[in-house]
Structure formats: structure tokens, C-alpha cells
Amino acid sequence: MQSLKGRDFLSLADLSVSELRDLLALAAQLKAGSLRPQCPHQVLGLVFSKASTRTRVSFSVAMYHMGGQVLDLNTGVTQVGRGEPPADTARVLDRYVDVLAIRTYAQSEVEAFARYASIPVINALTDLEHPCQILADLLTVQEAFGGQLEGLTLTYLGDGNNVAHSLLLGCALTGMTIRVATPEQYRPEAAIVEQAKALSPNPDSIVVTTDPEAAVADSHVLYTDVWASMGQEDLAESRIPVFEPYQINSALLAQAHSDAIVLHCLPAHRDEEITHEVMEGAQSRVWDQAENRLHAQKALLAAILGAL
């Protein structure tokens, strides 16, 4: 993991195949308690422009577990919220803290922080990608299938959003087949799809379709997210009839592999993108997935801070 020390993490595509595998292995060791990395006196700054539960808490707890400190630099209580340019904020925070996790709207903002700060910058979510979430997702799939990822099929249903983008890249790196099923006008960005194909050992394993039933056939993992992301709440009601065929329900789940698991990055709108029955059912791994945010992000922080 020495190759990640001091590096930014803005996208899943920033990792090599071996680095991703090593991060997941490290996360599994941390979860098992067989390693206890320490980074005393080091400080993580959280620059969050978007609301957060899992990301905020998991990053904070991970840092505290390693003996570090956390500064919650909410944009409502810093000059960022009054329009200070990211370049200026980045160069100031660079003098105070050891690592930054940024949760914001534009990918260009985290890129600006990374460009102007010499400390590592982590993408804790943008409208383009959500790479930290996918580290936890892949760890959860790995646990459910005996450590295996290559050869498995993951189907994502719903909006071709930031989670779909990072899943495309993460699955490509691990050699998984990924099928993204969305309504025609909500497909993932074509550039991300092409990037995933370039990263995958088998470009034909990257599939984008409008047919949810074809997408879930014999799939090992069914995954969904809300149909309207943060900042799109005013569109939520109008999207429901468009996305209804992509709901993960018992009928759709029955068409997947007999050992299939169900994932949702949360928060969920029960009985919209996923039914209450499926979310609370035997095949749901949603709560394991949420827990794994802690272990995956602890592994990421430990590697970036050289705490191993």
C-alpha cells in the first residue's frame, strides 16, 4: 500500500487493479481486527457542501479509531459558503490539516482542491462520482461470495448517476460484469462508460441497457439508488412513473441468480426504487454495506496517511 501514500483519491480510475485489490484486502483485515493502524496527531478535514450521514460518520469514526482528529469544515460555518474560491481555501487548509475529504457538487471542485493543496484530497462524493461508496460495495460483494469478484455479475437499476459511474469503473477494474439498466434519457455518461470499457479486461462485460429484466437475468448482485439525487428533489415526483419498471422488488429479484444479494447505498425511499420487503429480506446486504463504509474508508485513510 506504499504506492498510495500521499496520493489523492478523486476517482476509482485513480487506482490500479492491484491497488484496488490491496485496499479491499486491507479493509477486510481492519474489519477482522487483525491490523490496527495508527495516525496520532494527524487531522482530517471534512469539507462538505452536501448533507451526509454515512460518509460523515464513517470518515470521522475511522479517523478517531486510528488516533487522529477530525475537523468538520461545514460550508455553512466557513468562508467556502460565502464564495471563497476552492483554490484559496485549499492553499490555506493545506497549512493546517493532513488530509481533506470533500463532498460537493462539481467534480471540478475536488480537482481544484487537489491541484492547489499538497496534502491528499479524497472525493467523498460529487455529482460525477462516489468512489468511497464503491470501495464499501465491493468489500460487501467480496464477503458475500467468498472473496471472489472476478466472474460475478452486478446489475445496477435506476438513474445513471454518480454511483452508477463509480460502479462502472470499480467493476471494470475487478473484472466483474456490470449491467446498468436505466430509462433511455437517464443513461450514465458515455465518457464514463468508455473509460470503464478501457479499464476492463473484457469490454463486452460493460453493458448499458434500458431493459431491466434482461439486465437482472442470473445476476449475482442487484443494486439501486434513489431516483432523484441530492439537488434534484423537485424532480422526484415526476420521475416515479419513468423509473417504476426499474424498482427492485420480489418479482425482479426472482429473475436473478439464486444466491443473489441486494445492495442500496442509502438513504432509501422504500417502495419506490426498492420495496420494503426486499430491503428487509434475506438477500439484502444493505446494512453490511453501510457498515463497510467505515472499514473501507479506514483502509483508504491508513494507506494515504502511511499509517500501516
Catalytic residue among 56, 132, 133, 264: 133
Residue (of 264, 223, 267) closest to 53 by Cα position: 267
With beta carbons less than 8 A apart as the criterion, state whether 154 and 134 touch. Answer: no
Which strands form 221-224's sheet, in the order they lie side by side? 206-209, 177-181, 153-157, 221-224, 261-264
Would you state the pLDDT for residue 76? 76
Residue 179 a catalytic site member? no
> Which parts of 120-186 fold into alpha helices (H)?
131-144, 162-174
Considering the candidates 130, 165, 179, 264, report the single residue annotated as catalytic: 130
Query: What is the predicted pLDDT for the residue at 230?
Result: 65
- The answer to whether 94 is a known catalytic residue is no
Choose the catalytic residue: 195, 247, 265, 289.
265
- Partners of 154 in beta bridges: 178, 221
Kindly give the pairing relationship between strand 121-125 and strand 43-48: unpaired
Q: What is the pLDDT of residue 295?
A: 98
3-class DSSP assignment, residue 179: strand
Q: Is 79 a residue of the active site?
A: no
Over its length of 308 residues, how does the chain's per-residue pLDDT go in tens digits? Answer: 899 999 999 999 999 999 999 999 999 999 999 999 999 999 999 999 998 999 999 999 999 999 999 999 987 777 776 778 999 999 999 999 999 999 999 999 999 999 999 999 999 999 999 999 999 999 999 999 999 899 999 999 999 999 999 999 999 999 999 999 999 999 999 999 999 999 999 999 999 999 999 999 999 999 999 998 766 777 778 899 999 999 999 999 999 999 999 999 999 999 999 999 999 999 999 999 999 999 999 999 999 999 98
Q: Of the residues 165, 225, 289, 297, which is catalytic? A: 225
Examine the residue annotation and report whether 7 is marked as an active-site residue of this protein: no
Write down the pLDDT at residue 74. 80
What confidence score (pLDDT) does residue 98 get? 98
Active site residue 39: no
Please identify which of the residues 165, 264, 293, 295 carries the catalytic annotation.
Answer: 293
- Among candidate residues 54, 65, 103, 165, the one labeled active-site is 103
132 is catalytic: no
Nearest in space to 142 (alpha carbons), one of 116, 114, 171: 171
Residues 6+ apart with CB under 8 A from 54: 266, 290, 293
The x, y and z cell numbers of residue 302, run together, are 491508513
Q: Which of 299, 300, 296, 297 is nearest to 36 (CA)?
A: 299
Task: Write down all domains in the chain, each with its CATH number in brackets.
Answer: 2-130+293-305 (3.40.50.1370), 133-289 (3.40.50.1370)
For residues 223 and 141, the answer to whether their CB atoms sit within 8 Å is: no
Query: Which grid coordinates are listed for 202?
Result: 473484457
